[in-house]
Structure 1
Amino acid sequence: MNSRVTVIMRSKNSAWVIGQALSGLFSQHRRDFELLLVDSGSTDATLDIARRFPCRVIQIAATEYFPGAVLNKAIQQAQGEILVFQNSDAVPLAPNALEQLLEPLESGQADATFARQLPRPEAHTWVRRDYSLAFPSQGVPPSWMVYSLPFAAMRRAAWERHPFYEDAWGSEDTEWGHWARQNRVVARYVPEALVMHSHNYTLRQLYGRRFIEGEADAFILQDKVSIPRFLRRLCKSWARDAGAHLVAGDLLGLMLSLPRRWVYHWAYWKGHTLGERRKKTGSQDTSIGQRVVLKRG
């Protein structure tokens, strides 16, 4: 096994999909990697499935899981000069996905790369619309999509310049991508590297995800939220969703689109205001966002 490449995978109760993710990984043309699995308290068959594959397992308690900090500690134990990140629910869709992801790094064209994510067959209409915008089939993604870790890679030297963000729970990839852009570090989108990855979040889960994104953005973007901005974003995103649902003939999705987008933007608002308060007071307490996420599954 070549220790030049380390794949880091994070898991928790992923038995429903981790077998697909690992089978996809170990079916790649590129097999010269070590796999480091960080599991945060799985209570299902996740670890039993994972141990069918050659991997090194690090187990932590669910309450110890803070994404940026966990990644930084895992990287310290990794042997690779190139670091690959694969979510336990991200399934490579072609045997050359890893090869395509690594090529710009190994040819010296980029310092980091991230893949194109395709939604699952059961993805809701609004999820499909969002993914088609965020991960185009060619060209470059929108300006706000700076980096995405479900399937991504970077040189260890790039990480050493800027380890992952630990000031808030979540958005560690977004913060790293913004830093890269500001410091002329090349993070390249590789649409030829295809993985399947998406979530049909419940409203409770959606609230948790958007809350932590809002909190993190208060630190990353150094901006402030306002009622007019909240309403503009709500109306704009709902209008886009409504159009997508009408085109798809998804009347149930259309009926749910307004409450879903309300939760989406309201949770972001609440998280962002927390982040603003933390910045103002200098609070280092990152546990509130963690509790919001864990409470909502």
Structure 2
Amino acid sequence: MRCSIVIRAYNEEQHIGRLLEGISHQTLKDVEAILVDSGSTDATTAIAAHYGARVVRIQPGEFTFGCSLNKGIAAASGEFIVIASAHVYPVYPDWLERLLEPFADPQVALTYGKQRGDEDSKFSEQQIFARWYPDQSDLHQSHSFCNNANAAIRRSVWEKHPYDETLTGLEDLAWAKEVGSAKWAISYVAEAEVVHVHDETPRGVYNRYRREAMAFKQIYPEAHFSLYDFVRNVTASISFDLLHAARANVF
């Protein structure tokens, strides 16, 4: 099998069906879907089973982002592993084909695709998506940014470099940094686009940023972020959003 899709989920009944439906309409047919479920109490696993996905269960207390990925990939049979968030869905039927195209270069270990919000996404989040995921692809990027909401890796590289199971987040960034240091290439594919639905509560956003900040410090212990840096970045972000909102006649 050429491609396995690993999806991590916990109580995602609202979104998982749209992703799996999108997968079923892809032009690439030689795929398997594996749902790594960390204790859902809703219909997530039943929906996954309805679409023919294989369910790998882990205990809630066992969950870390890296652990769930390692479990899912270990259960997969594909030469390439597509990693998708349970609350994304593909825009085009050739999403998988485009995401996998850069692997024709044997030096590429990781690809990731474009993301955009849906009609309910906040303006500020749409701006973040636009900055992080531009319209132009970069098939040999010079930095380690990526995002496992919409990504693919070469399984043979993962076998030598499994995901860090100790991190509270940013396992994708840590993996990209590690394989980049080993001289593997990373490709950004703008044509492999998904819609990423974020409906987090303010508390959920706070918790996500907190655990990602902790993980970032673990990945980059030399990094320093002062109160001045915080104020400067917040001011710059607000100014950027206000400027683009005015240009887009959002007000």
- If the length of structure 2 is used for normalisation, what is the TM-score? 0.90
User: Which AA in structure 2 matches 1:133?
Assistant: R
SS in 2 for 1:128: helix
Q: Does 1:12 pair with 2:17?
A: no
Match of 1:234 among 231, 236, 247: 231
Where relative contact order (Cα < 8 A, 6+ residues apart) is larger, the structure is 2
Query: How much does 1:7 deviate?
Result: 1.0
Aligned partner of 1:61 in structure 2 is 59
Query: How much does 1:107 deviate?
Result: 4.8
Per the alignment, do residues 143 and 199 of structure 1 end up closer, same or farther by CA in structure 2, a change over 3 Å counting? farther
SS in 1 for 2:108: coil
Q: How does 1:190-229 map to 2 (within 5 A)?
A: 190-226=189-225, 229=226
Query: How much does 1:69 deviate?
Result: 1.3
Aligned partner of 1:168 in structure 2 is 167
State percent identity of aligned pairs: 32
Match of 1:116 among 101, 114, 117: 114
Per the alignment, do residues 11 and 31 of structure 1 end up closer, same or farther by CA in structure 2, a change over 3 Å counting? same
SS in 2 for 1:108: coil
Runs (5+) with no aligned partner, structure 2: none
Match of 1:35 among 33, 36, 53: 33
Query: In the alignment, is the contact (CA less than 8 A) between 1:124 and 1:200 conserved in 2?
Result: no
Distance 1:113 1:45 in 2: 31
Bigger radius of gyration among the two: 1
Per the alignment, do residues 185 and 107 of structure 1 end up closer, same or farther by CA in structure 2, a change over 3 Å counting? closer
Query: How much does 1:143 deviate?
Result: 6.7
Runs (5+) with no aligned partner, structure 1: 255-297
Distance 1:51 1:201 in 2: 26
More strand as a share of residues: 2
- If the length of structure 1 is used for normalisation, what is the TM-score? 0.77
User: Which AA in structure 2 matches 1:51?
Assistant: A
Per the alignment, do residues 237 and 143 of structure 1 end up closer, same or farther by CA in structure 2, a change over 3 Å counting? farther
Query: How much does 1:139 deviate?
Result: 4.0
Query: In the alignment, is the contact (CA less than 8 A) between 1:127 and 1:198 conserved in 2?
Result: no
Tell me whether 56-65 or 18-27 shows the greater mean CA deviation.
56-65
Deviations 1:130-169 (A, max 9, x none): 1111000114499766221111111111112211012222
Match of 1:80 among 78, 81, 84: 78
Per the alignment, do residues 230 and 177 of structure 1 end up closer, same or farther by CA in structure 2, a change over 3 Å counting? farther
Per the alignment, do residues 206 and 238 of structure 1 end up closer, same or farther by CA in structure 2, a change over 3 Å counting? farther
Tell me how large the CA RMSD over aligned residues is.
Answer: 2.3
Match of 2:241 among 229, 244, 248: 244
